[in-house]
A and B are shown apart, each in its own frame.
Chain A
Amino acid sequence: MAEPRIRLVDTTLRDGEQAVGVVFTPWEKRQIATLLAEIGVPAIEAGFPALGPEEKDCIRAVVEADLKVKVTTQAVIASEAKQSPSRKEEIASSQKPVLSEAEGTLLAMTQAERLQVKGDSRALEINAFARARREDVRDAARCGVHGVIISISTSDMHIERKFHRSRPWVLERVEEAADEARSQGLVFTVSAEDASRTDLSFLTEYYRLAERLGARMVRYCDSLGVDDPFTAYQRIKLIGQEISLPIEMHMHNDFGMATANVLAGIRAGASSVAASIGGLGERTGNSPLEEVVMALRHLYGVDLGIETRRFREVSEYVAMASQRAIPIWKAIVGSNVFAHESGIHTDGILKNPSNYEAFSPEEVGLQRQIIIGKHSGSKALIHKFNVEFGIELDADTASRLLERVRATAVELKRLLFDKELMLLYKELTSGVG
């Protein structure tokens, strides 16, 4: 069986910007789009043109940048080769897809084809978000984007309580918007907002209509993050049996399960993911792009050809532009996820990093740190003094020093800086204190 071909569309600039208090300037939007193209993300959602003239300017700024997606398998191979030379050959000889192209014509590339495009590039696909209204689609067309995401709620809850309308009205709206998209020459995805709370038979009716209208893809939105991976899997599987269009997952993180739900959808046959850097998005946000990409690579062996070594850099830029600092424990890119303090873990890491690391920090642009604090053991101390300070600690000194280190860390309620460690060491060895 051929490997599933998975497309990524980044929505940092649209759903991400919809997060409370987040506003990107046109220049920032262009920078973020540039970074995404540079790391190999093939498609983005650039914004919501119907918001007004300022937003249209933002999206045009992105379109006019005329960005090319870099194909970066080289980087991946190089970084993995560092861990194990045999892995390099394994990757080089694999037939996995490294690039997913726009518009559903997703090609799994062979190694030979990949070599041809290496160093080559193709245009970053730019999409705009539109409610299922003719004027929203026209606004999108005016920005010069390639594609449009036509979105409307499909759950009875939303149809009745938000719109005060009926299901047929929803279908009419989509028909009109799709008609407008076709006449504007835009490719379009039809998105079902609140799909996870939508009656499955109506949802498939809606998606079948999208298929007839010429959509290139349908989007399944767990707008409130209420799916669990098992229900997401079941629903996507059933939808996949009813339609032949590619299905895109757009999952929210209200109960902390966005990434798991996206991956469950992919296992059930979905072939596209709408994700954002750091998961930036409404409320608790979306599935973080970096988590999806790394999980696909390491848990399923599917490499999307993204230059993950720049994940930390891209995350930092988005964090600054959105004024939302990256939590130091953020999965994949947090500055602390490769910091080890506890004696047991540090000892394991020093013997072999794979004892406690699923991948090496360099792969996402981070560094491993051995931190000395309350939970440190004597082996970490001996290692640190030897490697970083060039001092050989004997077992007895190490154990006496450890006692002081722990007491000091508890008193200060934090880890210790190198200077403080040296000070404690000097006090101990000179018999002071």
Chain B
Amino acid sequence: MEGFKPFGLSDVFSEEMLSAKVQAPVYIDDTTLRDGEQTAGVVFANEEKVYIAKMLAQMGVHQIEAGIPAMGGDEKEAIKQIVRLELPASILAWNRAVVEDVKHSDDCGVDAVAISISSSDIHIKQKLCHDREWVLDSIRRAVEFAKSHNLYVSVNAEDASRADPGFLVEFARTAREAGADRLRYCDTVGILDPLETYKRVKALIEEVDIPLEMHTHNDFGMATANAIAGLKAGANYVNTTVNGLGERAGNASLEELVMALTYCEGIDLDIRTSLFRQLSEYVALASGRPLPAWKPVVGSSLFVYESEGRASGAVRDPTTYEIFLPDEVGLPRRFNVGKYSGPSVVHQKLHEYGYHPSEEEVRRLVPILRARSIALKRSLFDREVVEAYSALTERRE
């Protein structure tokens, strides 16, 4: 890959780095309405955008990236509508590092802007067809304009993960000196792993005094982990999307990030997580991208117990297999009989329907139900379990 040197598998890391903790405060800037909508094939209607913004604000998300005003058409109208709601969240609009773009944002009445430009030589040469100095000038002009209009400014370093580290420092300093309030570190192509993310973000923070935001992509399945690594290194802002919606394989997903922060890192953001499932379903519908049953945090099958190993623990004590309770994310807990089910699930299921089978009955029923599930190539409906039990007991009588 151009502009990229593979990481050493046998690198050694300091104890300080490995035991680093995420430090509060952590602010969430959700970009479902911008990077999410930018996904090939996704278009939100304006009323959907407004609804999603309302839900995000109600949930306690700190900042909402509402769209790209310079796109014209209906886009500005949607952003204006969101601004008019006076939600308890900052509303940010996305811009290229062009004064004209920022004017469109200012028209919409937003309180914050992201000013985005590539920081890697690959992009600067092959996409922008300019040089580094031109990039820095563009930043200065756009940021100064935005600051003179009293806007909160995030400068987005696009493709930061492939940028020359020295130039990235210069890029960040330029943004800082022009008055930017934070810098967004974008792993645009999703090519970092968490340990590398940490090293690079840490190095940048040590050089430049500017608050950092993480924007990570999921091309190798590591968006959430990379975002957390950046927070461990000292970033305080994180850019997420509902369901991880976003270009290609998507972004760090809001629900994964919030729950991972709470349960893996011990940082509680005070987000109303019980709305997660509802919001995820809404975004799935509006984006035309159905939610996989196995989606982390919000997938419908996460609290369904079928295999005996897990169910035998859960019937005694759900905490044996649940790090958080299903209510916390708006999901139900249920037991399902399938190929991998054993006595615990079968007993539990019959119990739910008011039966009190003996151990012997359950023992005989398990292979019968397993054979059925195998023959039908699916889990069984509750009705089928109850009927098999009735058939067994009738036969005996």
Contacts and interface: CB of A to CB of B under 8 A. Distances in A.
A182 to B, nearest CB: 24
Interface in A47-88: 48, 51-52, 54-55
Contacts of A347: 127
A20 B316 contact: no
Contact of B43 (A51, A161, A351, A373): A373
Given A21-B301, A260-B226, A414-B43, A228 B249 contact: no
A369 B19 contact: no
13 contacts: A157-B319, A228-B228, A259-B221, A260-B193, A282-B310, A339-B40, A341-B41, A348-B127, A352-B2, A354-B1, A371-B41, A412-B43, A413-B44
A284 B296 contact: yes
Contacts of A414: 41, 43, 288
Interface string B287-310: 011001111110101101011011
A331 B43 contact: no
Contacts of B195: 229-230, 233, 264, 267
B9 interface: yes
A257 B302 CA distance: 16
Q: How large is the interface on B (under 10, 10 to 19, 20 to 34, 35 or more residues)?
A: 35 or more
Interface stretch (A106-114, A287-295, A387-395, A419-427): A287-295
Given A261-B225, A407-B73, A342 B38 contact: yes
A230 B229 contact: yes
A415 interface: yes
B383 interface: no
A415 B379 contact: no
A21 B379 contact: yes
A225 B324 CA distance: 12
Given A256-B297, A324-B293, 9 more contacts: A18-B340, A254-B297, A260-B222, A264-B195, A282-B310, A369-B40, A375-B37, A410-B43, A413-B44
Interface string B254-292: 001001100111000000000000000000000011001
Interface stretch (A117-125, A206-214, A309-317, A355-363): A355-363
B188 A356 contact: yes
A188 interface: no
8 tightest A-B CB contacts, nearest first: A260-B225, A301-B6, A341-B40, A259-B221, A256-B256, A339-B40, A256-B224, A255-B260
A295 B220 contact: yes
Given A336-B41, A337-B248, A298 B221 contact: no
B92 interface: no
B76 interface: no
Interface string A332-346: 101011111110110
A284 B220 contact: no
A432 interface: no
Contacts of A339: 40-41, 248
B319 A229 contact: no
Contacts of A115: none
Most chain B CB neighbours (cut-off 10 Å) among A161, A257, A288, A409:
A257
A400 interface: no
A106 B33 CA distance: 49
B13 interface: yes
B10 A233 contact: no
Nearest to A269: B10
A284 B340 CA distance: 17
A157 B320 contact: yes
Given A21-B338, A255-B256, A341-B40, A299 B20 contact: no
Contacts of A25: 374, 377
B317 A161 contact: yes
Interface string B311-344: 0110011011101000000000000101110000
Given A20-B293, A230-B232, A352-B126, A255 B224 contact: yes
A144 interface: no
A19 interface: yes
B195 to A, nearest CB: 6
Contacts of B374: 23, 25, 54
B194 A54 contact: no
A299 B7 contact: yes
Interface string A351-387: 1101111110000000001010111000000000000
Contacts of B391: none
Interface in B24-58: 37-41, 43-45
Contacts of A285: 294
Most chain A CB neighbours (cut-off 10 Å) among B123, B301, B379:
B301
A227 interface: yes
A338 B189 CA distance: 12
Interface string B363-380: 000010011011011110
A348 B302 CA distance: 39
A51 B370 contact: yes
A287 B221 CA distance: 9
A233 B195 CA distance: 9
Interface in B103-156: 122-123, 126-127, 129
B83 interface: no
Contacts of B218: 331
A48 B341 CA distance: 12
Contact of A336 (B17, B40, B188): B40
Given A19-B301, A161-B317, A284-B295, A341 B39 contact: yes
Given A301-B6, A341-B41, A348-B127, A54 B188 contact: no
Contact of A375 (B10, B71, B219): B71
Contact of A338 (B41, B226, B248): B248
Nearest to B338: A21
A231 B376 CA distance: 42
Interface string A397-410: 00000010011011
A161 B263 contact: no
A361 to B, nearest CB: 11
Contacts of A341: 38-41
Interface string A123-161: 000000001000000000000000000000000011001
A4 B17 CA distance: 23
Contacts of B122: 352, 354-355
Contact of B301 (A20, A228, A298, A355): A20
A258 interface: yes
Contacts of A342: 38, 40, 247
A338 B219 CA distance: 10
B323 to A, nearest CB: 5
A294 B220 contact: yes
A288 B221 contact: yes
Contacts of B265: 228
Contacts of B37: 374-375
Nearest to A1: B10
A193 B321 CA distance: 11
A256 B38 contact: no
Contacts of A185: none
